[in-house]
Structure 1
Amino acid sequence: MKFVSPLSDTDLQALMEAYVHAEKPALRRRAHAIVLSHKRYSINQISDILAVTRETVSLWFDAWEADGLEGLRDKARPGRPALYDARDRERLQALVAEHPHQIKAVQARLQQETGKSSCTATVKRALKKSGV
């Protein structure tokens, strides 16, 4: 049977902190798996509890052994850079406050002010990212 190496009190405390308070659900789940292994749950039991494959749990163990808590975090993924920066999103929020039910008018005004062309879906994503 495969288990993680015995955890120090510091490691266990860091994992419990990540399990309870981490922003990303994936990190919470991975930290939970390591804690369960420390408590001598088998890979099969952990995969059943977390509803993932045995291979996934094994990969999490390997990542923990190699890089500790950093190994459990999501890796950066390639993608297109955001069109609107923080200042643009602030202006977008102000425009929406002025014209709350006119997304196309807001989009046109933002394009006029910034020179950045986008579709309404991009404007909505920017608003969502800003918490609106």
Structure 2
Amino acid sequence: MRLIRDLNPESQKMLERIYRASKHHQVRERAKCILLSFQGTTIEELSGIFGVTRKTIYNWLTAWEDRKLIGFYNRRGRGRKPKLTEAQGQQVIDWVKEEPKSLKKSR
């Protein structure tokens, strides 16, 4: 069983403030997860509370241990990459502007 063991009072207050005030839902969830882990909640219980897998909980704990607060935020480059390049996207926009009522010509 893996828990957050060393959490000083300042960090606890900061995490509680983040949990209450952050505008990002994921950040609030992760802050609460760290607090509950410090209070002794097991990985299985945490995964049930947050509706995520055990691996996700481990990832959150590792991110906290490695990067502290910055670990709560998703890194850049996540998500689906665009299928069209910027030039191709601009070309599509130009075609639609030229013939806005005839999309068949845009194909």
Q: Under a length normalisation based on structure 2, what TM-score does the superposition of the two structures give? A: 0.70
- Alpha-carbon offset, residue 76 of structure 1: 2.1
Aligned to 1:62: 62
Cα separation, 2, equivalents of 1:14 and 1:77: 27
* Identical columns (%): 28
Cα separation, 2, equivalents of 1:5 and 1:62: 13
Cα separation, 2, equivalents of 1:14 and 1:28: 11
Q: Deviations over 1:71-104 (max 9, x none)?
A: 1112223677xxxxxxxxxxxxxxxxxxxxxxxx
Q: Deviations over 1:27-79 (max 9, x none)?
A: 00011110000110000000001100000000000000001111111222367
Please report the RMSD computed on the Cα atoms of aligned residues, expressed in angstroms. 1.8
- Alpha-carbon offset, residue 14 of structure 1: 1.0
* Paired residue secondary structure (1:74): coil
Matches within 5 A, 1:1-132: 1-77=1-77
Q: Deviations over 1:4-35 (max 9, x none)?
A: 13210111111111111111100000111100
Cα separation, 2, equivalents of 1:75 and 1:20: 22
Instruction: Structure 2: state its 5+ residue gaps.
Output: 83-92, 97-107
Residue type at the aligned position of 1:77: G
Q: Show structure 1 runs of 4+ deviating over 6 A.
A: none
Cα separation, 2, equivalents of 1:52 and 1:77: 22
Instruction: Structure 1: state its 5+ residue gaps.
Output: 81-116, 120-132
Cα separation, 2, equivalents of 1:2 and 1:22: 26
Cα separation, 2, equivalents of 1:77 and 1:27: 18
Cα separation, 1, equivalents of 2:5 and 2:22: 22
Aligned to 1:107: none
Cα separation, 1, equivalents of 2:76 and 2:12: 25
Q: Deviations over 1:103-130 (max 9, x none)?
A: xxxxxxxxxxxxxx588xxxxxxxxxxx
Cα separation, 1, equivalents of 2:22 and 2:76: 17
